[in-house]
Amino acid sequence: MFDNEDYTMQHVVPYAGYNGDFSNINVLSPPSMGLPAFMDAEGNFTDISTAKFDSENPILLAFGLDVPTAFLYSVFIDSDNKTVGYLADGNGVYVPRTTPLTIPVFTVTVNNTVLAGDDFSQTAIIPDGKYKIRLAVLRPFGDPGNDEDFEMWDSEEITFGE
């Protein structure tokens, strides 16, 4: 009760506790939910290793978030684990969690187009070759400048142009 209040009035304060280090919690929905996964334009799940796609025929990377995140990004990485470019619509700030009734999954368009330039205001086509897609999601209380504060998922290898 609060001072100088009618003691017959009830106040309900919702509270959800977490027993553990919340900054180490997994943000992405678990693989047991079948996510992250790739879908074709019709929303059918597809095998990324055999899918044919390019800038005119993209596929979608679908993923869920069990916990909201302040920052996420998705990039193509090469065989040396170096970033080749950022997926054009695969970045977000203050992204809410997914729920079955409101936002069942988030999707990112995957083709051979990436953001380029110092301020990412231009687009470029990545060279033909083999790549993986990395989805990186900042954990609660994480530092966006510290890779260890991200939960990262790497796709199977995909091929453009060969």
pLDDT tens-digit map of 84-138: 899 988 899 999 998 877 778 899 988 888 887 777 788 888 888 889 999 999 9
d(CA 150, CA 86): 16
Query: With b meaning 16 or more CB within 10 Å and e meaning fewer, what string describes 89-118?
Result: ebbbeebeebeeeeeebbebbbbbbbbbee
pLDDT tier, 144 (very low <50, low <70, confident <90, very high otherwise)? very high
pLDDT digits (tens, 9 = 90+) for 4-57: 666 666 666 666 677 788 888 999 998 888 889 998 878 888 887 777 776 677
Q: Which pTM was predicted? A: 0.83
E strands in 13-146? 37-39, 45-46, 59-63, 69-77, 83-87, 92-95, 106-110, 113-116, 122-125, 129-138
Tokens of 160: 């453009």
pLDDT digits (tens, 9 = 90+) for 53-88: 766 778 899 999 999 999 999 999 998 999 989 998
Helix, strand, coil % over all residues of the chain, rounded to 5: 5, 40, 55
